[in-house]
């Protein structure tokens, strides 16, 4: 989106991301959980955050429903609004990355192009895409919010997986079949990936 603020100049802070990471004794990163409604994105993101937080790490979850109560409460679910929703979240996640925080985002984020835009905002290696794969019938059986039922009845328009497409990630850093792995197993897969990438290590 073009910058309409023509008379602004970027202010370079003296407290850098590197200094914040050194203080936190771990690196910052963006964990981008994507998948259908009911695939377990939010539950997994919060479970991972709980484990990281209890280990003394600085964390924050950007949850799809929560964000739409504030930052994105003016947006609907048309393709255009979905794109703007992800743009705002991406920019917010980038700020948290600079703040030295391990940021976990849980959004359907159905379009490849918007997920690619989010990735391209972050320095190389700082965006980790986690695809919570779950077959549509399983997601529908879970349907704790009753959304799929309403979508099937035509009461909800532009519902991903029913009346709006979901474009599967082609090369995510991690794929978790949430219909086969337990929540604890899934969380350990994410944390193991962070360890393998030295995200949880003290910053020199």
107: which DSSP letter?
Answer: -
Set 109, 163, 164, 179: catalytic member: 109
Residue written as tokens 């990355």?
Answer: 97
Q: Tell me the C-alpha distance between 133 and 139, whole Å.
A: 10
Please name the residue ranges forming H helices in the chain.
Answer: 17-24, 41-54, 64-67, 79-98, 112-121, 136-142, 147-152, 183-196
Residue written as tokens 């979240």?
Answer: 89
78 labelled catalytic: no
What phi and psi, each to the nearest 5 degrees, are found at residue 160?
Answer: -60, 130
Q: Cβ atoms within 10 A of the Cβ of 108, count?
A: 23
Q: Tell me the C-alpha distance between 128 and 200, whole Å.
A: 14
Q: Which residues are catalytic?
A: 109
């Amino acid at each position: 989106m073009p910058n309409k603020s023509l008379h602004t100049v970027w202010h370079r802070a003296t407290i850098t991301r590197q200094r914040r990471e050194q203080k936190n004794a771990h690196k910052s990163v963006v964990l981008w959980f994507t998948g259908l409604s009911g695939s377990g994105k939010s539950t997994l993101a919060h479970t991972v955050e709980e484990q990281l937080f209890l280990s003394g790490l600085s964390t924050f979850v950007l949850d799809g429903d929560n964000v739409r109560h504030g930052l994105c409460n003016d947006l609907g679910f048309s393709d255009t609004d979905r794109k703007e929703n992800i743009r705002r979240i991406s920019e917010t996640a980038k700020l948290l990355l600079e703040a030295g925080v391990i940021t976990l985002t849980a959004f359907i984020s159905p379009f490849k192009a918007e997920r690619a835009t989010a990735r391209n905002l972050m320095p190389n290696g700082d965006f980790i895409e986690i695809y919570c794969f779950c077959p549509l019938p399983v997601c529908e059986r879970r349907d704790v919010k009753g959304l799929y039922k309403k979508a099937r009845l035509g009461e909800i328009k532009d519902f991903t997986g029913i009346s709006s497409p979901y474009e599967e990630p082609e090369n995510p850093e991690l794929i978790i079949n949430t219909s086969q792995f337990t929540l604890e197993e899934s969380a350990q897969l994410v944390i193991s990936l962070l360890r393998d990438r030295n995200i949880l290590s003290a910053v020199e």
